[in-house]
């Protein structure tokens, strides 16, 4: 599959920045015209706009309060910092092209799952069978946990989508000791009546395998599941994300699943089977591959990953 062409959205044009002198001059003129005596104009340096390694994050399912980690920064393996919580940096709700749209982001796994094996090992129904509530996820050979990766990318992604005016909810924001179970993750998206849901993951395949892939729901009916209404729109969402992910990150589609398309259809994932709204998973890379691991542990690359996923969602939602 080619990821170039009209089916994928062009990169958004960079926002022009006004220089310090121009900003001061504009402020002086405006104040003088209003008859206000100008004594001093103080300006700050340009912000990072949520890019690079300083993407602001928030907590407690899309709000900026209530989390025990609020206001804290956690180190990442390459010296980057995870996005810090900043309620004042959050854009006004519904003030962009995605105004009125609801997106649910599902950070895969939970760093606390390993300490709650009894809870995550219990079986839940997924429509066409049963599966464990959740798993611990994988990690790089150096011990960087998939759950840390998924939460970091999800927070960055939330910031980017909120800048576009979307209402964004996370299924977990480091605010619960384990889980949630896969059936609850699906239910959160359903109850939010989300226009799109993306579950963020990283794979744990063999060391020689590389690349990302997007997992699409197959047709599953029965046992409380009926994916028929969402198979088509979920594929469109997945194609948009795959194409934009290539462009934003420079990563290639998986060389071990998907026949080079970066798209895989599965019927054994409860988070997809039980969804009533368009939903996909993205495996952003293989944590067991040294080259992929170098990317996954880089804050700068994680920001690119979040940007690629965001661009795909925005394209799907027509923003």
Task: Please write the tens of the pLDDT for every residue from 38-82.
Answer: 233 223 332 223 323 333 333 333 332 233 223 333 334 444 554
* Domain of residue 106, CATH code: 3.40.630.40
| Cβ-count burial 143-164 (b if 16+ within 10 Å, e if not) | ebbbbbbbbbbbbbbbbbbbbb
Phi, psi for 108 (deg, rounded to 5): -60, 140
Task: Let me know if residue 10 belongs to a domain.
Answer: no
Which residues are tagged catalytic? Answer: 283
The pLDDT of residue 92 is 55
CB 133 within 8 A of CB 171: no
Residues 6+ apart with CB under 8 A from 274: 126, 127, 182, 183, 186, 187, 190, 224, 225
Q: Tokens for 169?
A: 């909810």
Whether the link from the prior residue into 180 is cis, omega within 30° of 0, is yes
Distance from chain centroid for Cα 13: 21
Between 8 and 100, the more confident residue is 100
Task: Let me know if residue 5 belongs to a domain.
Answer: no
Task: Let me know if residue 230 belongs to a domain.
Answer: yes
The CA distance from 69 to 84, in Å, is 9
**Nearest in space to 149 (alpha carbons), one of 297, 309, 260, 308:** 297
CB 307 within 8 A of CB 251: no
DSSP 187-246: HHHHHTT-SEEEEEEEE---TT---BEEEEE---EETTEE-HHHHHHHHHHHHHHHHHHH
The pLDDT of residue 268 is 98
Task: Let me know if residue 45 belongs to a domain.
Answer: no
Q: How confident is the model at residue 144 (pLDDT cuts 50, 70, 90)?
A: very high
Task: Let me know if residue 102 belongs to a domain.
Answer: yes
Fill in the DSSP letter of residue 35.
Answer: T
How many domains in the chain? 1
The alpha helices in the chain, defined as continuous H runs, are 20-33, 117-121, 146-163, 182-191, 228-249, 270-273, 290-296, 299-317
Task: Let me know if residue 292 belongs to a domain.
Answer: yes
Phi, psi for 152 (deg, rounded to 5): -65, -50
Whether pLDDT at 290 is above 90: yes
Determine the structural domain holding residue 190 and report its residue range.
51-317
Task: Let me know if residue 145 belongs to a domain.
Answer: yes
Q: How confident is the model at residue 30 (pLDDT cuts 50, 70, 90)?
A: very low
Whether pLDDT at 124 is above 70: yes
The pLDDT of residue 95 is 74
Distance from chain centroid for Cα 104: 9
Q: Dihedral sign, CA of 225, 226, 229, 230?
A: positive
Task: Let me know if residue 75 belongs to a domain.
Answer: yes
């Amino acid at each position: 599959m080619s990821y170039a062409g009209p089916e994928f959205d062009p990169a958004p044009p960079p926002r022009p920045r006004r220089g310090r002198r121009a900003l001061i001059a504009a402020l002086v003129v405006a104040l003088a015209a209003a008859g206000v005596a100008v004594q001093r104009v103080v300006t700050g340096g340009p912000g990072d706009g949520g890019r690079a390694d300083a993407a602001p994050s928030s907590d407690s399912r899309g709000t900026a309060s209530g989390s025990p980690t609020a206001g804290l920064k956690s180190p990442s393996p390459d010296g980057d910092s995870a996005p810090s919580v900043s309620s004042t940096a959050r854009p006004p709700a519904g003030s962009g092209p995605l105004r009125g749209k609801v997106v649910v982001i599902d950070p895969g796994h939970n760093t606390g799952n390993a300490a709650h094996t009894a809870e995550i090992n219990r079986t839940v129904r997924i429509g066409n069978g049963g599966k464990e509530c959740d798993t611990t996820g994988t990690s790089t050979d150096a011990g960087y946990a998939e759950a840390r990766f998924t939460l970091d990318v999800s927070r960055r992604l939330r910031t980017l989508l909120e800048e576009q005016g979307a209402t964004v909810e996370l299924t977990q924001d480091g605010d619960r000791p384990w889980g949630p179970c896969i059936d609850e993750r699906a239910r959160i998206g359903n109850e939010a009546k989300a226009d799109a849901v993306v579950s963020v993951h990283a794979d744990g395949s063999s060391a020689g395998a590389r690349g990302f892939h997007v997992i699409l729901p197959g047709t599953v009916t029965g046992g409380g599941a009926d994916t028929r209404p969402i198979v088509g729109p979920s594929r469109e969402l997945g194609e948009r994300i795959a194409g934009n992910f290539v462009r934003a990150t420079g990563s290639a589609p998986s060389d071990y699943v998907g026949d080079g398309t970066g798209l895989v259809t599965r019927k054994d994932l409860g988070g997809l089977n039980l969804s009533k709204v368009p939903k996909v998973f993205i495996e952003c890379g293989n944590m067991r591959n040294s080259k992929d691991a170098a990317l996954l542990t880089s804050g700068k690359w994680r920001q690119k990953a979040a940007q690629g996923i965001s661009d795909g969602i925005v394209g799907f939602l027509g923003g």
